[in-house]
């Protein structure tokens, strides 16, 4: 393999016997915007920690920019930027000091470092708070500071573990826009996230992991095409849907008249039908229902989304965590570097 990130037969078994990663292999070419998705506990953070030299693997191999994660760990750390899922900012320092410290640890100095810090403070919208202690920042501000700190030394490869979880939609959008810009400048991005719409728009390729194994890999459009069908949602008149037998009658009509339909399932509002080229079928369904005296209250066609892809491969819907004040506190709990 010749990617900028190469992983082969990677295994991680924790001390308590938990098999978090069970022999995964993948390769990420230089300049890729790569999404690494999966349900809770799938092994995403474990993989990222191994790739960023924070955790030792059990077996298999992993390299970053041609450097081995174990024998060349120090060299890898110089060229990567890492944002962990748990935010790591020093709360006794100001936002600016956090970033300056990170730059100095990476051998940056003087005006160049100060300019870089000013530039990034603007990107993450922390200019006004830059000289306040990070301990007084809100969770979202800490998360943004953490991302900025990750970027100070102009890393070539970024590993981001849920960088926008817990942020308001506006900060989320501006951070994804900035990541897009960085990627366009040639920076490789390896990201885990729960936001599939952003993945769909921005990731060139993605892998889905579940229970420590890769269950799907490809571009968003390849993976969506694999689903093979559009979904057509049919709303039926609720008063007669169940008791009046409308739903059964509608099913019969669909089954007898349309052999291009691959599946029919009950939905809250009536039926959902899966078929190739769903939009072509709509007028025909309307006509057939009309002839059979079945009243439709609504009809909508949607192409498969990454949500459908995720559901197909993991059996679960991805859950965007609602941020309550309790898990906000634990998500951004105090931690020192």
Residues of this chain that interact with Mg ion (CB under 5 A) are 44-45, 85
Contact at 8 Å (CB) between 180 and 173?
A: no
> Which of 39/220 has CB closer to Mg ion?
39
Query: Distance from CA of residue 59 to its chain's centroid?
Result: 26
**Interacting partner of 46 out of ligand ATP, Mg ion, none (Cβ under 5 to 8 A depending on kind):** ligand ATP
38 binds ligand ATP (CB under 6 A): yes
Contact at 8 Å (CB) between 9 and 57?
A: no
> Which of 212/304 has CB closer to Mg ion?
212
C-alpha–C-alpha distance, residues 37 and 196, integer Å: 9
40 binds ligand ATP (CB under 6 A): yes
**Interacting partner of 94 out of ligand ATP, Mg ion, none (Cβ under 5 to 8 A depending on kind):** none
Q: Which of 9, 18, 242, 262 binds ligand ATP (CB under 6 A)?
A: 18
**Interacting partner of 38 out of Mg ion, ligand ATP, none (Cβ under 5 to 8 A depending on kind):** ligand ATP
163 binds ligand ATP (CB under 6 A): no
> Which of the residues 201 through 260 are near ligand ATP (CB under 6 A)?
none
Interface segment toward ligand ATP; rule CB under 6 A; list 10-18, 137-145, 183-191, 306-314: 10-18
**Interacting partner of 136 out of Mg ion, ligand ATP, none (Cβ under 5 to 8 A depending on kind):** none
Q: Count CB neighbours of 49 within 10 A.
A: 20
Give every CB contact of residue 299 below 8 A, 6+ residues apart in sequence: 232, 233, 234, 235, 282, 285, 286
**Interacting partner of 128 out of Mg ion, ligand ATP, none (Cβ under 5 to 8 A depending on kind):** none
> Which of 21/241 has CB closer to ligand ATP?
21
Give every CB contact of residue 311 below 8 A, 6+ residues apart in sequence: 317
14 binds ligand ATP (CB under 6 A): yes
- Count CA atoms closer than 13 A to 75's CA, side-chain side: 10
Contact at 8 Å (CB) between 24 and 7?
A: yes
Q: Which H/E stretch holds residue 292?
A: helix 278-292
Kindly state the DSSP code that residue 106 receives in the 8-state scheme: T
C-alpha–C-alpha distance, residues 160 and 155, integer Å: 12
| Nearest approach, Cβ of residue 41 and Mg ion (Å) | 8
46 binds ligand ATP (CB under 6 A): yes
| Nearest approach, Cβ of residue 66 and Mg ion (Å) | 26
- Name the residues that contact ligand ATP, by CB under 6 A: 14, 16, 18, 20, 38, 40-46, 85
């Amino acid at each position: 393999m010749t990617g900028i990130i190469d992983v082969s037969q990677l295994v991680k078994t924790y001390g308590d016997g938990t098999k978090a990663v069970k022999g995964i292999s993948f390769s990420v070419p230089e300049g890729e915007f790569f999404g690494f998705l999966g349900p809770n506990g799938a092994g995403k953070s474990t993989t990222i920690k191994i790739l960023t030299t924070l955790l030792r693997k059990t077996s298999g191999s992993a390299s970053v920019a041609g450097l081995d994660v174990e024998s060349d760990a120090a060299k890898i750390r110089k060229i990567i930027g890492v944002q962990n899922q748990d935010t790591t900012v020093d709360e006794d320092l100001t936002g600016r000091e956090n970033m300056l410290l990170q730059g100095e640890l990476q051998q940056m100095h003087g005006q160049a470092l100060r300019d870089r810090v000013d530039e990034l403070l603007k990107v993450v919208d922390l200019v006004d708070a830059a000289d306040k202690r990070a301990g007084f920042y809100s969770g979202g501000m800490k998360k943004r500071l953490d991302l900025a700190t990750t970027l100070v030394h102009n890393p070539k490869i970024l590993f981001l573990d849920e960088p926008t979880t817990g942020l308001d939609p506006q900060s989320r959008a501006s951070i994804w826009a900035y990541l897009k810009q960085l990627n366009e400048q040639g920076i490789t991005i390896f990201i885990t996230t729960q936001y599939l719409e952003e993945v769909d728009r921005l990731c060139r390729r993605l892998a889905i992991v579940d229970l420590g194994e890769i269950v799907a890999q490809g571009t968003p459009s390849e993976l969506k095409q694999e689903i093979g069908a559009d979904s057509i949602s049919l709303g039926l008149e609720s008063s007669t849907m169940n008791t009046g037998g409308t739903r059964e009658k509608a099913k019969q009509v669909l089954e007898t008249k349309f052999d291009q339909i691959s599946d029919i399932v009950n939905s809250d509002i009536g039926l959902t039908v899966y078929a190739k080229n769903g939009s072509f079928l709509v007028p025909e369904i309307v006509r057939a229902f009309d002839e059979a005296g079945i009243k439709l209250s609504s009809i909508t066609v949607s192409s498969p989304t990454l949500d459908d892809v995720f559901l197909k491969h993991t059996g679960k819907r991805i859950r965007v965590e609602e941020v309550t004040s309790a898990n906000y506190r634990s998500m951004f709990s105090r931690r020192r570097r």
